[in-house]
Structure 1
Amino acid sequence: MYFYRMKSNDIRDNLATEQYLMNNVDFDEPLVLFYIQKPCIIVGHNQNTLEEINSDYVKEHDITITRRFSGGGAVYDDLGNVSFSFVVNSDDDNFGDFQKLTKPIIDALKDMGATTAEVSGRNDLMVDGKKFSGNAMYTKNGKMFSHGTLAYDVDLSVLAKALNVPKDKIESKGIKSVKSRVTNVKPYLKPEFQDLTTEQFRDRLIMELFHTDDLSKIADKEYQLTDADKAAIKKLNDDYYYNWDWVYGKSPDFTVKNRKHFTMGTIDVRYLVSNGKIESVEIYGDYFGKKDSQDVKNLLVGTEYNSDKITQLLESIDLDQYFSGIPASDVIDLFK
């Protein structure tokens, strides 16, 4: 088995590296990847990105959003999480067999003290009935990766806020995430493993997997990216993980409903969003305006469903002409 420790703390770089190594580098043994990233949310391939995230919160806290190729639900990572990925040759028996492919991680954690760690349900790793890892798989051209999170010391309070979306606002046919009781695995480990940094925890896992007490003894098993590798990975990032069309535009069609009563009337805004862009707008209510709100609809149709873009467009017109007596900032907040 070979291993690689991602050098970047950006989830987009790490997913691109994982994809590239699976598709373009031939290994005569399985490869295991480990990556640690700054706060981010990774949505599953078939999900509606905006339906999974609290857009205002993630923007305020500079949380990176991207989409992965594998299915499953949205996950939150921060620098207290270690993600892992096993890259292997694909066969029909392996795909979907999370118990088999995560067994090395479970065994390593048990050796480190988390004796109740187990695979539970379809794709979760649990300890004492609480989830500490979600997993997903992707296969292409005879190769496959099985990757997952591993919460060591994640700020779980942020997770709850970043993935909390009002359910009456957005409706789509995207695959919804399943909420579970979550925990960090750190408190379940032996005392000597509870004061490690995330990087030290990652390295300890590697040593457990390779049955060694010193990483220098397995230096020949650690892959090193070439300049050609890095150039190809950058191309994948440009095409996918940093690309708005991939992250948001690939979402299934969905509707948005925002309604609020103001002293000067009620406004009810409804969007149909397709490929991440506003396809149609309806505005209902008992508000007053000197001008026809059809102008506002025409302005918004075709733009990205993105709060910054919507704000920029609405700030370019005199909203009081359409929604008399209602502060422009309140109207803009309703339309975002």
Structure 2
Amino acid sequence: MASIIRAVCLSHLSCDLPRENTLGREPNRIDSLTLPFSAKKYLGQLSGSKQPSIWTSSSLDPYVNLSIEEYLFRKVEVDRPILLIYRNRKSVIIGRNQNPWQESNLEELERQGISLVRRRSGGGTVYHDEGNTNYSIMLPRDQFERRTNARLVANAVQEMSIDRVNVTDRYDVCVGDRKVSGSAFRITAKRAYHHGTMLISSNLAQLKGALRPTPNMNIVDSKAVGSVRSPVTSLVDSVTNDINHHSFVQHLCRAFSKHYYPCLDHPINPQVVIATVIQTISFGNSMSGLIKNDFVRAGYEELKSWDWIFGQTPQFTRVFEIQRDDQTGLIPVQVTYKNGAIIEIKIDDHLLQTDSSIQQKISSRFSLGDRIDF
């Protein structure tokens, strides 16, 4: 399998790296994901580059793609606009400050084989599949403006002969009154990015099933940021002509280059594969040789960890009900979690006095420091 890595630069000189047969020594190995040596070397060279670029990732792994995004954001010079485009396998992506149990049906995700991912930016929860194209526009801090980038994406959609395209006050891109693209943002002292989704041909039924709260959680208080629910549609439902990932990528790259590089004679060529990886459906538990770039590998490991996905959950409180010994009713118990672990257990003192067995039942079921069990 040939791995090709290209950069598309302002001069329109394609920088093709040597082709390598990355599977030559292990033709039957499909349980790991390898960043070829040339890709590793090129990522290092790019961190000092001054050229603008459009990147696409061939991986469908959400943890890999968000780690590549973080590499671009943190390690590449911030003196010019960068566009990253990728797709993910079935996954639910929650915002940095959200509660996964409130935002998604974790039982449904497990049944359907849908990955749960906590991203590093704020904002609400979104559903990804291969019918959904993701983009990330990275800019120097002083060039960043939310509406400008949302309008850029809207222009790309309009150029696909789709009518009634508009940008809302929340910087969503809509066709009529239905959302096709939601956005989230991350801003630091010197740089910022605007990343979002484009529903092209996503499975909307699965989207709706996944983006429901986990049942029977009985959450009564939460410091997490909640998603704003909106009616959605896909681009394929808005037009009669053929629309797919590749046609959207062409129009998005054209809109990006037209806005940020108006001096160019023609749009930046989007036919690139940056940070090419050998992808598999399941990566298993082994990280051996997974990603050669240390920064990307560390990001991948963090995003997949329990401590990040669940342990970063803002404080919240659930109510449990414990049956009285005399079967005369249920006693409510409030359990508060922070970083995914119990920090407080509360019950009405009067109820403890009326049923001496309650304290024993509580102690056998809950302990301070226990991780949440759903």
- TM-score with structure 2 setting the length: 0.69
Which residue in 2 is equivalent to 1:63? Answer: 114
How far has the Cα of 1:266 moved from its partner? 4.8
Query: How far does the alpha carbon of each residue in 1:17-68 deviate from its partner, in whole angstroms, 9 at most, with x for none?
Result: 1111111012663111111111211111222222212121122222211222
How far has the Cα of 1:130 moved from its partner? 0.7
Which residue in 1 is equivalent to 2:22? Answer: none
After the TM superposition, which parts of structure 1 deviate over 6 Å for at least 4 consecutive aligned residues? 219-222, 225-229, 260-263, 283-291
Aligned pairs (5 A) from 1:1-336? 1-26=52-77, 29-91=80-142, 94=144, 97-165=145-213, 169-170=218-219, 171-189=221-239, 191-193=241-243, 196=244, 198-199=245-246, 201-203=248-250, 205-206=252-253, 209=256, 218=269, 223-224=274-275, 230-239=293-302, 241-259=303-321, 266-267=329-330, 268-281=332-345, 292-298=360-366, 300-307=367-374
Distance 2:163 2:86 in 1: 24
* Change in CA separation of 1:199 and 1:289 when aligned onto 2, cut-off 3 Å: farther
Unaligned 5+ residue runs, structure 2? 1-51, 259-263, 278-289
Distance 2:323 2:201 in 1: 43
Between the two structures, name the one with larger relative contact order (CA 8 Å, sep ≥ 6). Answer: 2
Asked if the contact 2:253–2:269 (Cα under 8 Å) also holds between the matched residues in 1, the reply is: no
Equivalent pairs, count: 297
Which structure has greater helix proportion? Answer: 1
Paired-residue identity, %: 25
Q: What letter corresponds to residue 169 of structure 1 in structure 2?
A: N
**Which range is displaced more, 229-238 or 114-123?**
229-238
Asked if the contact 1:65–1:247 (Cα under 8 Å) also holds between the matched residues in 2, the reply is: yes
How far has the Cα of 1:153 moved from its partner? 1.0
Asked if the contact 1:264–1:287 (Cα under 8 Å) also holds between the matched residues in 2, the reply is: no
Which residue in 1 is equivalent to 2:35? Answer: none
Asked if the contact 1:83–1:150 (Cα under 8 Å) also holds between the matched residues in 2, the reply is: yes
Kindly report the root-mean-square deviation, in angstroms, between the aligned alpha carbons of the 2 structures: 3.5
Query: How far does the alpha carbon of each residue in 1:73-115 deviate from its partner, in whole angstroms, 9 at most, with x for none?
Result: 1111122100111111112x62xx3220123321121111113
Which residue in 1 is equivalent to 2:41? Answer: none
* Change in CA separation of 1:14 and 1:287 when aligned onto 2, cut-off 3 Å: farther
Unaligned 5+ residue runs, structure 1? 308-336
Query: How far does the alpha carbon of each residue in 1:291-330 deviate from its partner, in whole angstroms, 9 at most, with x for none?
Result: 93144145x43221133xxxxxxxxxxxxxxxxxxxxxxx
